[in-house]
Structure 1
Amino acid sequence: MFSRWPFARKTCPDPDGRLGAAAPRASGACLALRARRGAIAWLRAVDVLVSAISLLVATTVAGVEGPAAARQTSLSLDATSMLLFAVTLSATACVFPLFALYTETALFHWKPALKAMVKAATAVLLVLVAGAALLRPPLVTPAFLATYWLMSCLGGLAVRLIGRRLLFLTEAQGIVARRTLIVGTGKRAQEIARDMLDHPGHGFRFCGFVADGFEVPPPLPRPEKFALVADASGLSAYLREHVVDEVLVCLPLVALCGTVDALAAVCEEHGVAMTVVTRLFELPNPRHRPGSHGGEVVVTVSNTLADERELLVKRFLDVTVSATALLVLSPLLVAVWWLVRLSSPGPALFVQERVGLNKRLFRFYKFRTMVRDAESMQAALEAQNETNGATFKMRNDPRITPLGRLLRKTSIDELPQLYNVLRGDMSLVGPRPLPVRDVERIENDWPRRRFGVKPGITCLWQIGGRNSLPFERMMELDIEYVDTWSVAMDLRILAATVPVVLGMRGAY
């Protein structure tokens, strides 16, 4: 089913975004804008840090400029030098905003950022020179000033390029670029849709309108994206087949009262955030208040409403643990790779497309534990499936190699998924990613809420019985994780996974 969709990839480049039968991740409706504002806020602190590092590097360069200068500076900063440093850091915090370095333009357009950075660094350098003329510290030499200016320019530009790159990575994971449906086709709904289309950098991707028809005629010329993709009764079917991160309800109050309960039930069942736009509260400046969308006060109904700070902590935990584990376990990974290659014909790694966050397909890695053509042989074994749900499990699967049985028992075959975690396709903790075949066989909609969070290497049912649990119980535990997730919960699950893996319980 999914294979015929050429755009079934993590970045979802196609405007239709048809990927499969899973529900997307649902976080706060304003997570996209808050993520960008948060990145810009962090730049203020990082710029001061870069300025401090530039001063220290410049001091080192001045210290090796010559024997006399080395005796004078030698990194033994006196009171006047420390005062000059404080003035420079304060100037950085005060001058940089004057050159629009804390705007989205500076973050996402490198040429204006480069020009602004050179101007701002030069202005701070002038403050530094003026302070040095008054305080006359011994370390301020031509080499010191040139080094500081160059380091400040390069460092400031680098942190903006890195910040932009990190935001683009989160965009691929559905955090910054939120695929949005609009319920309603009135004037305000069309204004919001046009704003999304005109400003994709704001973090929203307009997917279409949900309505029986246009309440008011669309503008001429009509934008290509102004399309009716479903009516209210077809919303559930559309969510089942497409990547949608948010449903934005923009209806008149009368229509809202009659449909909001049904819309909320559908969105909650699919794990999709629902944002309701209302003009009941005319605030003087709602754009600067939390919980706004397109300048309107909103209420977000979501079953996975997580604080973005916790999401950042979770991602930091994923990156640090996976990178460290890959480094420490690299000898074991290489040894297993060779053993798999030598023990049976075929590649060492098993690569399969699985359904991840928001119905995005990704390449899933593990050590191969079956014969080379195991997937093509599965159809003949379907009658021997030992599970009562969408998954396929056989305790004595004839396709498993002798080495593969040992790798499964010890869970060593799962170690390559650390690379998926490092890439951002998966997390250390989350519902296990299902193959496309299993997702297509999920009959009810309620288990699809498990797709509202990023899949993981371990989860609640991995520590509570693993393969011995029935499919429905696995799904219930996944939904429990979605509803109660926290960083502390992830840490508890990781700690509980260790004895389960060492005891080789429930793995086959």
Structure 2
Amino acid sequence: MPIRTRQSAITWLRVADLSVAAFSFLVAATVAETARSGGAPAAAAVHVDASGALLFCVALGATACVFPAFALYTETALFQWRQAVKAMVKAATGVLLVLVATAALLRSPLATPAFLAVYWLLSCLGGVAVRHAGRRLLFLTEAQGIAARRTLIVGTGQRAQEIARDMLEHPGHGHRFLGFVADGWEAPPPALRPERFAILDAPANLPAYLREHVVDEVLVCLPMHALCDTATALATACEEHGVAMTVVTRVFEVKNPRHRPGSHGGEIVATISNTLADERELILKRFLDVSVAGVALVALSPLLGMVWCLVRLTSPGPAFFVQERVGLNKRLFKFYKFRTMVQNAEALQADLEAHNETNGATFKMRNDPRITPLGRILRKTSLDELPQLYNVLRGDMSLVGPRPLPVRDVERIENDWPRRRFGVKPGITCFWQIRGRNALPFERMMECDIEYVDTWSVALDIKILLATIPVVCGMRGAY
């Protein structure tokens, strides 16, 4: 029996996701018990204690709360296949992080690496599978013309024709293209256009057309000057007939734009940004930052205490070096690291400017005379960077992001394009930290930072964090 409407498909998705979460939990628990018992089937029965039962409830609750945050119960989850798969992986990872945090609090013996890995894999595969099944069942209805949204496109420009062609080529996306509403062709139509690739009526006659025909949606795709003249009349006609109206505009030709809808002062707006625009991923990024930084600070506290004592004992001055650095949107914040130089190092820098070994805004010397003997070891092993975990907890920095620059370096940046890096939080590690560190020229460092801004995702952060480990352990490019 095909699903009759998209809303019913989404309702079934919610039920199916909870079923997949329960199934994944039980299978993962069985695998964990089997691994714990040495593979003996008789001993592999799942023993659910109070912490395991609570963890099960958390898995279901997190699924119900996290999945909607990643738009998995919208039409996008049914019709935009690639976006749905990406969102499913991110949502499953978010649920997994909730389980890890809960298991750490409960000290549940069930949450072994095997359990977590199996649960994540099964929830990802199961979520993708149920969406594929829902999409196929819904398509059986849409192919018969029952559930597809009957759509008119106002405008005949290049973008309008691209959208119409996509509707005709992909009926499974949920739209049945009826035709164009326009006074004429704004852009030349294709020589071999489909049968329904035609102008049905003029915008002035839209109310009469809506009275005589079944229309679910009017999609307005007009240039800005035409919108100013006709958009109000079109909106009024659609409102009177209870027909949804969607406005598509390509206002700005910008590189790598990221956009999100919203409201401002009661008005509907669209925000265009070339930085991190996905608030759901930002929340997940912050959760990752706080979780990892918090655990690391607790686990490394003995090492931090030992380094603090060594710095105080081997050279006069405070153990921590505190400096104002430039952060998100060029806000200044106090940056912490273990002191690796003599106490008055900043005052001595002016005398060393002529020996700068970089060709950009930064100052680097391989054999900087201000560095203490212990400081060279701390820099080589990157132990001096550990106090920045405190900056991460405070929210000034992230685990991954462009390295925060001193005010002196920012004032010396000559071009404007590297300043896009200030659209994201600075981080402890970044692309150029794993691609050569101080051996890279300044311009290449900035190119790496812009690449991060343009391609950022939580998965990329995890990839950079994992790639940083061998770089730090190998002590490559640090001085």
TM-score by length of 2: 0.47
Q: Point out which structure has higher relative CO (alpha carbons under 8 A, 6+ apart).
A: 1
TM-score by length of 1: 0.44
